[in-house]
Amino acid sequence: MSAASNGHGPITGSDRVKRGLADMLKGGVIMDVIDPEQARIAEEAGAVAVMALERVPADIRREGGVARMSDPEMIESIVEAVSIPVMAKARIGHMVEAQVLEHLGVDYIDESEVLTPADEANHIDKQPFTVPFVCGATNLGEALRRISEGAAMIRSKGEAGTGNVVEATRHMRAITGGVRRLTQLDPSELHAAAKDLAAPYDLVAEVAELGRLPVVLFTAGGIATPADAAMMMQLGADGVFVGSGIFKSGDPVKRGRAIVEATTHFADPEVVARVSRGLGEAMVGIEIDTIPAEQRYAGRGW
Amino acid sequence: MTRLPGERLDRRPAAAGAPADRADPADAAPLVGVLALQGDVLEHTRALRAVGVRPLPVRSVADLEAVDGLVLPGGESTAISRALGRAGLDEPLARRIADGLPVLGTCAGLILLSDELVEDDALPRPGGIAVRTRRNAYGPQTASFDVRVEVAGLDGGPMDVAFIRAPRIEAVLGDAVDVLAEVDGAPVAVQQGARIGLAFHPEVTGDLRLHARLADLVRRRTGR
């Protein structure tokens, strides 16, 4: 691309542009899809982006084994099928899966605990990439560590594939409560807060000033109904990821659309009530206590 | 008031020393809406306040009828288009724009204001600017870019702006459209009467001179 008139030429991959795409997704729903047909249904339902993956978390959970990046062919078929942004998942710490996804031209990479971690100590160094990353977090310190590594968007982890919103609630409250506590501290107390959060001081001070994360905060992991989505928005989410909740339900077209509408009008119970009518079967939910600790995804990553 | 996505998480107004997301607007200032169905509503709301008008997030027909001007924000044009129809805002919005409501559309907003779309012409939208536009014309997110661009009629040098999965105006369809700026030979800022369409995001980079132009158009029309 040649230089623009009278100024600096185009610069790709800046933090501003990477975070900027997430800013454009605010107030929207990002849906897990496993094939082009589901991707088109998601776009038609009003999704702002799709997450391309071979198995939704509920199936990964049921089938077990090592979960990896999806087949490039499958990801490309979804990129071809829709005009909205396409995200895809890389394993925690697997920089080569991320390089492959960037090469394929996905719009966002999710360094995801839903896949089996490839590195138990280190996450991907995300700064050098041109493609932006979204990462999961269970609390404020974890969110800030991911941002320090270069994440341009954060999602609360929840517990994917359960259809149970309780963990999403826990993580959203941990992150937003952590932010609110920082805003109340004296500046001299922020250094100790950074130590306690195990997060860089500069980011801690920035959050204390902004009263929010410096990047967009979505929620994920267990959202199954329009009311779940609206609840997460009322708890301070900027948007919603829905994984298994749509295509594991009885009527994905109707439910997808209903979750989108409830996210848009999250403060309006009349809308949430209207779209919640006659949705058919929700996905079967799982009590968190019945999942053995080693099979819970939220504990992956640090 | 409902929290806008992206807004501060501590809602206590005027917390000591905290920068206010919602400074009190002057009561006499014109009311300018930001279509608040999806996208970067917050950035535009701040921009409007900074140029001296009262912002109103528009989610309903009643909101829309109350405003003297409107911003169609960045976001996903397909999602915003569908949300317009579901909220019953599609026809009222098209009518108000046709009646001369001053309006500024950025990125997805430009797509909604375009009279013709390449490939996606079935996308329901109000239109209002006689251009033919291609959605997401620059490629995937890795091709999104920051750039400085000279805009006709703006004092103070080129604008510092972001193109994010941006649309491209492929043709201007009539004499009524003024091209305000070009990048690589393609128009990226156009104006037709009181309607301004931008392929980029000045609200992301904080250069608010075109928001000020919208505010001027609104003041001229309302006499306030």
Q: Is B107 a catalytic residue?
A: yes
Q: Which of A141, A160, A163, A168 is closest to A225 using CA atoms? A: A163
Q: Are A56 and A32 in contact (CB under 8 A)?
A: yes
Sign for the CA dihedral angle at B151, B157, B158, B159 comes to negative
Q: Which of A17, A211, A196, A58 is closest to B164 using CA atoms? A: A17
State the Cα–Cα distance between residues A226 and A257, nearest whole angstrom.
9
CATH number of the domain at B7-222, please?
Answer: 3.40.50.880
How large is the angle between the packed helices A140-149 and A166-183, nearest 10 degrees? 80
Domain regions of chain B by residue span: 7-222
Sheet holding B145-149, edge to edge: A11-12, B145-149, B159-163
What is the model's pLDDT at position B20?
A: 47
- Find the mean pLDDT for residues A191-219: 98
Those of residues 97-136 in B touching chain A at CB distance below 8 A are 107-108, 120, 135-136
A219 CA to chain B: closest CA distance, Å? 12
A134 CA to chain B: closest CA distance, Å? 13
CB count within 10 Å of CB B217 equals: 23
A9 CA to chain B: closest CA distance, Å? 6
Decide if B149 and A4 are in contact by the 8 Å CB cutoff.
Answer: yes
CB count within 10 Å of CB A192 equals: 12
Question: Testing the interface with B: which of A1, A5, A16 to mutate, by most B Cβ within 10 A?
Answer: A5
Report ipTM (2 d.p.).
0.93
Those of residues 194-213 in A touching chain B at CB distance below 8 A are 209-212
Contacts of B34 in chain A (CB under 8 A): none
Cβ density class A71-95: b for 16+ within 10 Å, e for less: eeeebbebbebbbbbbbbbbbbbbb
| B126-157 per-position pLDDT tens digit | 999 999 999 999 999 999 999 999 999 999 99
Q: Which of A208, A228, A87 is closest to A152 using CA atoms? A: A87
Contacts of B83 in chain A (CB under 8 A): 46, 260-261, 264
Contacts of B2 in chain A (CB under 8 A): 266-267
Sign for the CA dihedral angle at A234, A235, A238, A239 comes to negative
Decide if B38 and A264 are in contact by the 8 Å CB cutoff.
Answer: yes
Tokens for B112?
């909604």
Instruction: Please name the residue ranges forming H helices in B3-143.
Output: 41-50, 61-66, 77-86, 90-98, 108-113
A3-12, A170-179, A240-249, B13-22: least confident range: B13-22
Report the Cα–Cα distance between both ends of chain A, in Å, rounded.
40
Confidence of residue A148 (pLDDT cuts 50, 70, 90): very high
Q: Which residue has the tokens 């341009």?
A: A152
- Find the mean pLDDT for residues A81-102: 98
Q: Which residue of B has its CA nearest to A101?
A: B142
Chain centroid offset of residue A90 CA: 13
